[in-house]
Amino acid sequence: MDTFIFVHDSNIITEYERTGKFAKRFGRHYKYVFLGNQEVTPSEKVIVARSLPENIEHLPKLVTFTGWYALVRNHLLTGKYNLLLEYDVVLNDKFERIVNQAVKQSRTKEVFSFLPIDKDFMFYEYLHEFLGETGIEVFKEKRQRFIETHHQEKWMGSSNSLWKKETLTAFVNWFAEFLHSDFKDYSGIGHTVERALTVFCVLHGIKYNFIGSVLKHYFLDSHQTQAVYNQGIQKDYREHIRFLAEA
C-alpha cells in the first residue's frame, strides 16, 4: 500500500515532517502531492503536480482530483493499493492494522472509503447536474430512478479512500472525459468529484466497502467553498496546521 497526501501549502509539509505525522505511521511509503502555484521545494517525498508533463493545474476548482489525475496520467502509482488522503485528516492509532485486516477480509477488494454518508447529507446539490453530464444514452431520463433506487444505501462521503491501482486509473480516466465540456467550469465540481466516486462504482458494477472509525476529516476551507456547510463559518486551514501536525 502506497500513501499519497494532497497538500497546497509548503508549511503543511514542514510541520508534518517536523512531527513525523505520517513518517512514524507509514515509514518511507508515503509522498506528498503538491497542488497549486505556491512555492515548494521538490524532493523525493514531494511530487509537484504542476511540474509533471501531464497535469490539469489550470483547473483549480477540481482541487484534489488534479492530484489524482497527475498520479494516474504520469504513471506514478506503484503500489497494488493506493491510499489517498487529504492533508486535514487525523488517523486512528490502529489505522494500518484495521485497514489491512479489512482488505484481507473483504470479498471485493477494489475500493474502500472511510466516511459513509446518507443521501440526505447535502448529497443531491452537486449530483443532479453531474448526472446530466454523464453522456450515457438515455441516462438523463433515468437519473431520477437511479437516485431513488440507491436512496437507502450509504455513499462515499469524501475523497479519502483506498483504491486498487487499476480501479483508480479507470475512475480518473472516466471522470477526466467530463473535463472536455463546460462542466469543468462548474463552481461545485470539486464537491462533485466526491459524489462521482459512488456514481462510477454503481455504473460499473464495482462493490465499494467502508472502513469506519479509523479516520477523521476536518474539511478545512482551503478553497472558500465550505462555509455553507459549517454554519456559515470559514474554517481557515492555517489556524489548524499545528494541531493537525501533532494529532
Using 50 as the pLDDT threshold, list the residues of the chain that sit under it.
Answer: 121, 136-141, 226-233
In this prediction, residue 63 carries a pLDDT of: 86
Largest alpha-carbon pair distance within the chain? 53
User: CA nearest 195: which of 159, 163, 162?
Assistant: 159
In this prediction, residue 137 carries a pLDDT of: 37
Q: Going from the N-terminus, what domains does the chain have, and what CATH number goes with each?
A: 2-113+159-180+208-246 (3.90.550)
Instruction: Report pTM.
Output: 0.86
SS3 50: helix
**Strand (E) or helix (H) holding 169:** helix 165-176
Cα separation values, 65 from 27, 36, 190, Å: 25, 12, 8
Strand partners, 209: 112
